[in-house]
Structure 1
C-alpha cells in the first residue's frame, strides 16, 4: 500500500487563509472602537468666547480676568528665567461654580487652534484675594467651590505660538463640546 505524503503547507492552507482574513479584521475592529472613544473624548465642537465674557461649563461660569506673556528675550522673561526660544504665559481665570454640582471639575489647557497644539498648565500658587471673605478650602484649580474665586494657570510654550493661543476649557460630561476663551 502506497500512501501519498501531504506537505505541511497543503494540510494547513485553510487555517493560514483564515488567519489572513481574521487578523486584519480583529485589528480593524479593535482600532475602530478606540477611534470612536478617542474622537468622542476630544474637544471638537468649539465655541469661542471673547475676553471678559463667560463660558457656561455644566452650570459653572468661567472667564478670563487677566493674562500676560513673557518672551524669553524680554525683561520679564529674564526675571522669570524663561528658556531661550520660549514664552511664559500666565492667565488668571475666575470660576463661579456655585450653581454646578459638587462633583464639578473642568480641564483647562492652552491651545494654538490653527496648528492644534496643546499645553497643560504648570503648578502655581493662588494668592490674589487672601482673607477676603473666601473660605479656607477654596481650590486652586478648575473645581467646585461655593463662592466665585480666581485661579492662575501658567504655561511655557514655543515663542512662535505666543500670538495665536487661547484657553481651552471643557468638562468631561459635555465632550466633545469645548470653549476657547480669548486672552485679554
Structure 2
C-alpha cells in the first residue's frame, strides 16, 4: 500500500470519528435544547480565603459588596446602601442570606460583622472613604439564630427594639454620632 493510500485512509477514519462524536449528543433526547453543567457546585462546608469570593458571589445579594474580610473565624462584610437607603427589607434579606451562609451552611464562622455604608455626598471625589451608616454584630452563640433566622428578611430593626438588640444594630447619623435612626434619616443626603 502506498503512503498516499494510508494517508487517505487515516484522514477518512479521522473525519468519520469527528462526525460521529459531534452527532452523538444529538441522539440523546434528554439534553437537547438545555444547558448542561460541566462542573457540579460543591456545597461550602468551611469558609476559607480560597472559597470566600465564590461564596459571596453565590449569595446574589441585592446590595453591592464593598469589602469582604475573613480573619480568625470572623466574616466582615461592607454592603453599599447607595440608592437603597430606605429599603430596609433589602438590607435584612441580604443579612439573612449572609447569616445563613455563615451559620447554617458552614461550621467554622463564629461571628459576622456587617457594615452598611454609603458614599458621603459632601466628600465625594475627595478620596474619602464611604461613611458607615449602620453596623451589626451577630455571633454563632446567639440563641435566636436557631428559631428566628428565617424571619430576619421581614424584620425592621429601626422600629423593633427586639431585632435591634438581637442584631446588636447600631446607627450613625449625618453627624457621625451613633443614635437610633429611622430609615428616612439614613437615605442619601440632598
Q: TM-score, normalised by structure 2?
A: 0.25
Richer in helix (by share): 2
Larger relative contact order, structure 1 or 2 (CA cutoff 8 Å, min sep 6): 1
Q: TM-score, normalised by structure 1?
A: 0.25
